A and B are shown apart, each in its own frame.
Chain A
Amino acid sequence: MTGKRLQVDWTRCDAHGLCAELLPELIELDDWGYPVLADGDVPGRLSEHAEHAVRACPQLALLARTPKA
């Protein structure tokens, strides 16, 4: 997942907060429990954790996309 960027479908996200538990290096929660994503691409050392967070989201609201050139 190196070079990918995380993105949230805000219409799906229900503030379960799993993503922030699985990937605290890149995801914090705001005042209401919704994810705040770190800027930039997912660094290689975190790619496995990021993949795990994407798969674990019960709303399928967390996405990892290749940024457009």
Chain B
Amino acid sequence: MTTTTITTRSSPRLLSGVDLAGRLDLGRHLAVHGPLPAALRSGTQDVLDLADAVNLRGRGGAGFPFARKARGVRKGRQDSGGAPLVVANGSEGEPASRKDAALLMRAPHLVLDGITLAAVAVGAREGRLVVGDPAARDSALAAVRERGREGRPRVRIRVVGVEDRFVAGESSAVVRASAGKTPIPVFTLTRTAAGGVNGRPTLVSNVETLAQLAVLARVGADEYARVGTADEPGTTLLTLHRGGGAAVVEVPLGTPLSAVLGSASDSRAVLVGGYHGSWLSGRTVTAANLSRSGLEAVGATLGAGLVVPLPASACPLVEAAPVVRMLADESAGQCGPCVHGLRAIATTVQELADGAVAPGGVARLERWAGLVTGRGACAHPDGVVRFVASLLATFPAEVALHQHQGCGRPLQGLLPLRPVTLLEDAA
């Protein structure tokens, strides 16, 4: 079984205190972080100004500026007059990623603080915390109970459980889950900010983003920006896989990838971002820094913060093929190009991995990639295509070899297909 540990490096923030105390209940949370500043809690000081000052961006994958998203909801409220709502996305559909579950299991009150701050910022009295992992859900429920009816203005937070499936993490699926419906993506002409859950102006934000907001509110912009880069201050959570296990780590933005990889920094194949992410190899592994701009420079994205180095004994094509199949199977089955296109792509990638692809197979993959991109209700097909295109572009020698025969390296299953387990006593 794959196990997950939680490790803090220099100057932890979101994970402050968890190495000593494990889960921070309300008492420990207040002892480690202190209370929220009253001016931000009441809204007399605008937390969005702080978010702007440190360029706080979403940590769920897309990296959208938090303050801009929240202002969109403020405007949606003015335009529609509907009661706004904050939805914290902790569904974490990426099976190899466990940073959001780890955060909810160890520091759930930071997420609740973040929901409260976001709610005050957009004028909402209600928050929904959407969680996939069962243990993380229990921790979140316990945290809500520990708080009781505290605070003013009061923000009522409800925990909503969703099944652990890939597309359940997509924003419109999370909005549906929050309204008590099946968590699948939907086609909509209305922006979530204007009309999300039951048509209400809705702010959907990843749980790590909200926890970052809770830390920022306490330490202030200057202290927050003491770590990280000038353009991208602060820290980020990563799920780092190595040797069959996984660790959730918090590092300053801009940290060299090689520093995080340690003894695996000579790896010839590193997956970064997630299963909608990109592959790095050789020089790009050495050159990459873990920030949005640092990864953009090598053609990758920080995505959901996944980092998986493969040893030389593993073939990236062989390891990736079952992932592409799983991603095709995880399609919600609503959109034709996603259903048919991903199925065809998955079959051909597996044939390539097996060294049994028909002539023209790689060219067909490239054509199908073009036919799938941008033709679905959500970004799932686009993300899968990015993963496959990066695989083909990063390992041309392997692709050439596999077009004639396999490479002989067996499947090691280093890219998890099912959610990795987070051990309660692992910290």
Q: Flag whether B9 is at the interface (Cβ < 8 A).
A: no
Q: With A and B bound together, what is the CA distance between A12 and B189 in angstroms? A: 14
Q: Flag whether B334 is at the interface (Cβ < 8 A).
A: yes
Please, which residues of chain B bring their CB within 8 A of the CB of A30?
337, 371
Q: Flag whether B376 is at the interface (Cβ < 8 A).
A: yes
Name the one of A10, A15, A31, A63 contacting B377, with C-beta atoms under 8 angstroms: A10
Q: With A and B bound together, what is the CA distance between A8 and B337 in angstroms? A: 12
Q: Flag whether B309 is at the interface (Cβ < 8 A).
A: no
Binary CB contact string for chain A from 36 to 57 against chain B (1 if under 8 A, 0 otherwise): 1000000000000000000000
Question: What's the interface size class on A, roughly?
Answer: 10 to 19
Q: Flag whether A13 is at the interface (Cβ < 8 A).
A: yes
Contact B371 A14 (CB under 8 A): no
Name the one of B189, B338, B344, B371 contacting A10, with C-beta atoms under 8 angstroms: B338
Please, which residues of chain A bring their CB within 8 A of the CB of B371?
30-31, 36
Contact B186 A10 (CB under 8 A): no
Contact B186 A32 (CB under 8 A): no
Contact A15 B368 (CB under 8 A): no
Q: How far is the CB of A12 from chain B (nearest CB, A)?
A: 7
Count chain B CB atoms within 10 A of each CB in A9, A10, A13, A34 and give the residue with the most: A10
Q: Flag whether B340 is at the interface (Cβ < 8 A).
A: yes
Q: With A and B bound together, what is the CA distance between A33 and B375 in angstroms? A: 13
Please, which residues of chain B bring their CB within 8 A of the CB of A8?
375
Q: With A and B bound together, what is the CA distance between A26 and B387 in angstroms? A: 30
A32 and B340 contact, Cβ closer than 8 Å, known pairs A10-B334, A10-B335, A11-B377: yes
Query: Interface size on B (CB < 8 Å)?
Result: 16
Interface residues of B in 309-366 (CB under 8 A from A): 334-338, 340-341, 344
Count chain B CB atoms within 10 A of each CB in A8, A11, A34, A36 and give the residue with the most: A11
A32 and B336 contact, Cβ closer than 8 Å, known pairs A8-B375, A10-B376: yes
Contact A9 B187 (CB under 8 A): yes
Contact B368 A10 (CB under 8 A): no
Contact B336 A15 (CB under 8 A): yes
Please, which residues of chain A bring their CB within 8 A of the CB of B377?
9-11
Binary CB contact string for chain B from 183 to 196 against chain A (1 if under 8 A, 0 otherwise): 00011010000000
Binary CB contact string for chain A from 12 to 33 against chain B (1 if under 8 A, 0 otherwise): 1111000000000000001111
Closest B residue to A12 by beta carbon equals B187
Please, which residues of chain B bring their CB within 8 A of the CB of A32?
336-337, 340-341
Closest A residue to B381 by beta carbon equals A10
Contact B189 A65 (CB under 8 A): yes
Q: How far is the CB of A25 from chain B (nearest CB, A)?
A: 20
Contact A11 B375 (CB under 8 A): no
Contact A11 B334 (CB under 8 A): yes
Please, which residues of chain B bring their CB within 8 A of the CB of A31?
340, 344, 368, 371
Contact B340 A11 (CB under 8 A): no
Closest B residue to A61 by beta carbon equals B187
Q: With A and B bound together, what is the CA distance between A58 and B125 in angstroms? A: 42
Please, which residues of chain B bring their CB within 8 A of the CB of A13?
335-336
Q: With A and B bound together, what is the CA distance between A34 and B187 in angstroms? A: 16
Closest A residue to B376 by beta carbon equals A10
Closest B residue to A65 by beta carbon equals B189
Contact B334 A34 (CB under 8 A): no
Q: How far is the CB of B120 from chain A (nearest CB, A)?
A: 30
Which residues does B use to contact A, with CB under 8 Å? 186-187, 189, 334-338, 340-341, 344, 368, 371, 375-377
A-B contact pairs, 16 of them (CB 8 A): A10-B187, A10-B334, A10-B375, A10-B376, A10-B377, A11-B186, A11-B334, A12-B187, A30-B337, A31-B344, A34-B336, A34-B337, A34-B375, A36-B375, A63-B189, A65-B189
Which residues does A use to contact B, with CB under 8 Å? 8-15, 30-34, 36, 63, 65
Q: 5 additional contacts, CB 8 Å, given A10-B336, A11-B187?
A: A9-B187, A10-B335, A30-B371, A31-B344, A31-B371
